[in-house]
Amino acid sequence: MTKKKVGLIGAGAIGTVLAEAITRKLVICDELVVFDVEGSKAEKLRDSFKFPIKTVSDIDELLATKPTVIVEAAGQGAVREYYPKLTASGAEVIIMSTGALLDLQLTPKVHFPAGAIGGLDALSAATNAGINEVTLTSRKNPKALGKTNTQEALIYEGPAEEAAKLFPREMNVAATLALTAKPAKIQVRVISDPQVIRNTHEIMVKWRYGEMQLKFANQPHPDNPHTSALAAWATIRLLQNLLNPASTTII
């Protein structure tokens, strides 16, 4: 039987949640292979778990292990740098830093999770009939946006593509919506609010046969305030589906 291996690019907060899910057998695989440009971070993750974890020194060494699925959790820069090699590897590839995908050609083996939101199945379905308008309002604590304002402030208003570039760690959700609703355009408002504790995303959709209103209020990841904890668990769900498609159902 062919071994199921997971390759992980990035050994930060999200990578640690993924390793924990594998250790708890929420994700069934035989080995986890980890690459981080800071080798000490990969080694620290390896030493934190009893599950078989192998660390490698570069992307070529990771690809040489022939992972079944590769998960990117290292940022948009890593996606742009490694994307040609990842897509040529033959592995299924999960991209978390979806902002980078806006300028790249998607292939059938490239996947992206819902991240900090949901309802992408409904949004995708509505694109077939015709979408008139999509707006995303994201409200985060200044700390999560790298700001220091003491009063509520609108810090960005404009297209999703620009939001993902200006806030590469914080607004991948905008890119995820843009990729899902293509060719419809997404208008984004980013609010820095010192009164909020949770990362909140409100999505308003007007389409040919009605309207959708979606709201998500997520706890920031305790080790990385720039991302929501839900983003890691959405990736775990997608990983479950790719490794064991017969035993899971996409909801």
Question: Please, how many CA atoms are within 13 Å of residue 145, restricted to the half-sphere of its CB?
Answer: 28
- Rounded Cα gap, residues 145 and 128, in angstroms: 34
Rg (CA), the chain: 18
Helix (H) or strand (E) holding 84: helix 76-88
Helix, strand, or coil here: 142? Answer: helix
> CA-CA distance, 194 to 150, in Å (whole number)?
6
- 111 part of the active site: no
**Among the listed residues 33, 35, 47, the one whose alpha carbon sits nearest the alpha carbon of residue 11:** 35
The beta strand positions in the chain, using DSSP E, are: 5-9, 31-35, 53-56, 69-72, 92-95, 110-111, 131-140, 153-159, 186-192, 199-207, 210-218, 220-221, 224-228
Residue written as token pair 């959700």: 173
Amino acid, single-letter form, for residue 148: T
219/112 Cα distance (integer angstroms) = 21
Q: Which residues are catalytic?
A: 201
